[in-house]
Structure 1
Amino acid sequence: MSIPKVSIRQIKAARALLGWSQEDLAAAAGVSIPTIKRLEACDGALGGRADTGTKILDALHTGGVEFLGENGGGQGVRLRKAAH
């Protein structure tokens, strides 16, 4: 089962924006390091169990990342603006 509209490339880009290793993401999401490694070894849509994908996306969102959907310019990620 795939988590719609979020790609593995977006996950990797989100980690890079946050300066997180695979280990950091695993800890933040409450999933195992081998799970992160296995998911990131693939390309395409974020796969795996839906609850695992939700944990990963929630952790990255809590870290400050926004996922950008396909809007004619392509999928992407960005850091949220800090609230002032």
Structure 2
Amino acid sequence: MTNHQMVLTSDLARAARALTQVSPRAIAREAGLEKKQLREFEKGNQPLAAEPAASLLRALEHFGVAFIPDDEQGGYGVRRKYNAAKVRRLETWEDEGGPAFEDDI
């Protein structure tokens, strides 16, 4: 579920990055942020303007999380975009064909 209108809070960004299991450096690079800027936002020490926050949200979605907006049934949150069975299938597809070599294009 992509919802770029939702407000990305520091705790939500921290939880999303934990679910992705991707380094702060990679997330920051994808979002066009500095690693320190990302870490300070996650700690709640530095706010992000609207556009950098939207870029961070898109980067986290790129790495496999889905954001859940606040609604009448419960609060906002984050979860993995794919369930465990789908992840196993994706990993199998990625491993098909054997290891990549330097001469592979």
Is TM more than 0.5 here? yes
How far is 1:28 from its partner?
2.0
SS of aligned partner of 1:31: coil
The CA deviation string for residues 29-62 of structure 1, in whole angstroms up to 9 with x for no partner, is: 121012112211217xx93222211110111111
> Does residue 17 of the first structure (1) align with residue 19 of the second (2)?
yes
**Aligned residues with identical type, % of pairs:** 28
Alpha-carbon RMSD: 2.5
Report the TM-score when normalising by structure 2.
Answer: 0.63
Larger Rg: 2
Runs of 4+ in 1 over 2 A off after TM superposition: 3-6, 81-84
Structure 2 residue matching 1:42: 3-state secondary structure: coil
Listed as ranges, the gaps of 5+ residues in structure 2 are 90-105
- TM-score by length of structure 1 reads 0.76
Which residue identity does 2:21 align to in structure 1?
G
For structure 1, which segment, 74-83 or 16-25, has the greater mean C-alpha deviation from structure 2 after superposition? 74-83
Greater RCO, CA 8 A, separation 6+: 1
> Structure 1: where are the runs of 5+ without partners?
none
> Partners of 1:37 and 1:57 in 2: how far apart?
14
Instruction: Give the aligned length.
Output: 80
